[in-house]
Amino acid sequence: MTPTAMWKQCLDRVTVSDALRFALPTPWIVQAVQEGTLPQTMTLEMLKRRTIPPDLEGQRRRIEGLRKIVTDVITHYEPHRAGLSKLIIATPLILWVSAVLIEVKTPEMSESVQSGALLAWRKQVGDAVLRDETLVEMETDKVILEVAAPSDGLLVEIRVQVGGEVRVGDVLALIDTSASADVPKAATAVPPEKPAVLPPSARRELSRRTAETVPASVVTAPDRFPPAQETSRVRRVPMSRLRSRIALRLKEAQNTAAMLTTINEINMQPVMDLRARNQERFLQEHGVKLGYMSFFTKAVCLALKAYPTVNASVEGQDIVFHDFYDVGIAVSSERGLVVPILRNADCLSFVGVEKQIADFGRRAGNLELTLEELEGGTFTISNGGVFGSLLSTPILNPPQSGVLGLHKIQDRPVAENGSVVIRPMMYVALTYDHRIIDGREAVSFLKAVKDVLEDPARLLLAS
C-alpha cells in the first residue's frame, strides 16, 4: 500500500484521539488538544477540504506551509509503521488548521448574574446549525437563557455537558463554519418519523410535576406492605438555580431587615363600579382588560411620592432615596416567583400598565423574560388574592424597603353611617423595613393607598 492510499484510508477511520494514542505527536498538536482548540473526536473525513476566508492571509500562509509538510510525508516515507505514524500526525494537523472553527461562548448577562447551569442541548455533535438557531438552554438565578449559534455550520464539539456550571465567556461548543454549504440541505431535509417531542417549557413542567415530593406527614403503612415500599414514596431532587436564589434572598431579607407588617382594608366597590362601567369600551379600544393592578400601581406611585422613605433602600450606613418609581409586579411561573419591573410606573397610563403586566404574565409562563426586566425595582406589589389568599404578611425583596400584599376581595359586613351593609372588602398588608421607615410613615402610606382606591377620582386630579 502506498502512502497516498494509506492517507485516503485514514480519512474516514482515524480521529484526532487515535493520532494522539497511536502516533508520536508533535508538541504543537499536543498543546492544541490540551487547550481545547483541536477536538479529539473529529474524524479526518470531517476535517478535510476546508475553505479559508480570503482575509485570513496569515492563516492561509500557515496552511500552505503545512500542506507542504504533508506532501513531503506522502512522497518520501515508505509504507511502514514509522511513516504511517508521521502521516497520521500530519494529516489531522493540516486538515484541522484548514477548518474555520468558531467558539460558542456563554453570553454576557448582567452585573448581578455571572454564572449559570446548562439545562439541555438542542443540537448534538454532527448536527447542522443555522445562524441564530438555539443551541443550548442555560438556567441562571433569574431566567432561562437560550444561547444561539453565531454562524451557520456544523456542530463539531460540545465542551460542557448538561448540568455543568458555566461562567460568562466560557466556551460551550465549537462550530465548523466551512461546512456551512451543507447546512441548508441538512436543515430542510425531511427527518424520519419520530415520536412527538414536547417543547422545552412543557418538558420542564412535566419534570417539575414528576419531582414533587410527598407530604411531610407520612401515614404508617399496614403490615401487608413490605418495608421497602415506604422508601419509594420519598423523592429527593436538587433545587433549581432560581429556587436556590429565592431561598437565599428570602433568608437574607429575614436576617438583614427589621421587617414589620401593617394591615388595613379597602372597600373595593368604587373601583369595581368604575371597571364595570368602562370595561367593554376599554377592551375594545385597547385590546386588554382593565384590571385592578393598574389602580393599585397608580395609587402606590402617589403614596410613594408622599412618603419617599418607603421608596428608599439601605446601603451600609446610608439611606439611598430614589427619585423614580420602578414598581416590581410579582408573577408566578413554573420555575417559581419572578418580579419583572414596571419602569417609571408613575409615567405610565392605565393602558400602559395593563399591557405591560399582561405581557409579563405571558412571557413569564413561556420563560421569555429577560434579565434587564427583572433587575432593579424600588417597590414591589404582590397579589396573593389571585390564588385565594385572604390575608398574609409579604416578605421584602432586598434591597427594597417596602412590599404591598394584595388579597382576595370578599363580601363582608361593614358599618357605614350607623348601618351594617355588605361591601366587597380587601385586606392589604404593607411589610416595611423598620430600620429606616417609622410606623407612622408606614401606616400613613397604606392609608393613602386606601383613600385613593376608595375614591378613584383622585387619580384624575393627581399631578
User: What count of other Cβ atoms lies within 10 Å of the Cβ of residue 211?
Assistant: 11
Q: Which of 22-36, 197-211, 228-242 has the highest mean pLDDT?
A: 228-242
Q: Among 74, 99, 124, where does a domain finish?
A: 99
In a domain, 252, yes or no: yes
Q: Are residues 279 and 337 in the same domain?
A: yes
pLDDT at site 108 = 76
Q: How confident is the model at residue 192 (pLDDT cuts 50, 70, 90)?
A: very low
Catalytic residue among 72, 182, 273, 438: 438
What is the pLDDT of the chain when averaged over all its residues? 75
Q: Which of 154, 174, 173, 152 is nearest to 162 (CA)?
A: 173
pLDDT surpassing 50 at residue 215: no
What single DSSP character describes residue 335?
Answer: T
Phi and psi at 302, nearest 5°, equal -65, -40
Q: Among 148, 172, 188, where does a domain finish?
A: 188
Per-position DSSP letters for 271-283, written without gaps between them: HHHHHHHHHHHHH
Q: Are residues 24 and 171 in the same domain?
A: no
In a domain, 325, yes or no: yes
In a domain, 198, yes or no: no
Q: Which of 358, 352, 350, 404 is nearest to 379 (CA)?
A: 404
Give Cα separations from 173 to 92, 104, 115, 150, 151 (angstroms).
Answer: 19, 5, 17, 11, 12
In a domain, 80, yes or no: yes
Residue 385, domain CATH: 3.30.559.10
Domain that holds residue 130: 103-188
Q: Are residues 308 and 385 in the same domain?
A: yes
| Interatomic CA distance for residues 106 and 135, integer angstroms | 11
Catalytic residue among 18, 359, 434, 451: 434
Q: What pTM was estimated for this model as a whole?
A: 0.58
What single DSSP character describes residue 240?
Answer: P
Q: Are residues 369 and 389 in the same domain?
A: yes
336-338 and 318-320: which strand pairing? unpaired
**Cβ contact 420:414 at 8 Å:** yes
pLDDT surpassing 60 at residue 244: yes
Q: How confident is the model at residue 446 (pLDDT cuts 50, 70, 90)?
A: very high
pLDDT at site 178 = 63
Q: Are residues 118 and 11 in the same domain?
A: no
Q: Which of 440, 449, 426, 316 is nearest to 379 (CA)?
A: 449
Q: Are residues 248 and 353 in the same domain?
A: yes
Q: Are residues 267 and 338 in the same domain?
A: yes
Q: In what order do the strands lie in the sheet with 144-148?
A: 144-148, 134-139, 115-121, 165-167
**Cβ contact 81:60 at 8 Å:** no
| Interatomic CA distance for residues 9 and 44, integer angstroms | 10
In one-letter notation, the amino acid at residue 163 is G
pLDDT surpassing 90 at residue 440: yes
Q: Are residues 81 and 115 in the same domain?
A: no
Q: Which of 31-35, 82-86, 295-299 has the highest mean pLDDT?
A: 295-299
Check residues 200 and 395 and name the one with the higher pLDDT. 395
pLDDT at site 69 = 52
For the question of residue 326 being annotated catalytic, the response is no
Q: Are residues 130 and 89 in the same domain?
A: no
Q: CA-based angle 316:318:321, to the nearest 5?
A: 125
Tens of pLDDT, residues 73-109:
555 544 444 444 545 555 545 444 444 567 888 877 6
User: What count of other Cβ atoms lies within 10 Å of the Cβ of residue 85?
Assistant: 16
Record the cell numbers describing residue 457, joined without a space: 377620582
Q: Among 40, 65, 99, where does a domain finish?
A: 99
In a domain, 72, yes or no: yes
Check residues 277 and 337 and name the one with the higher pLDDT. 277
For the question of residue 76 being annotated catalytic, the response is no
Q: Average pLDDT in the 405-430 region?
A: 95
Residue 111, domain CATH: 2.40.50.100
Neighbour-count burial for 151-183, b at 16+ CB within 10 Å, e otherwise? bbbbbbbbbbeeeeebeeebebbbbbbbbbeeb
Q: Are residues 326 and 419 in the same domain?
A: yes
Q: Average pLDDT in the 266-271 region?
A: 96
pLDDT surpassing 50 at residue 234: yes
Number of domains in the chain: 3
Q: Are residues 266 and 402 in the same domain?
A: yes
Angle between helices 3-11 and 57-76 (to 10 degrees): 130
pLDDT at site 112 = 60
Q: Are residues 11 and 39 in the same domain?
A: yes
pLDDT at site 351 = 94
pLDDT surpassing 90 at residue 333: no
pLDDT surpassing 80 at residue 243: no
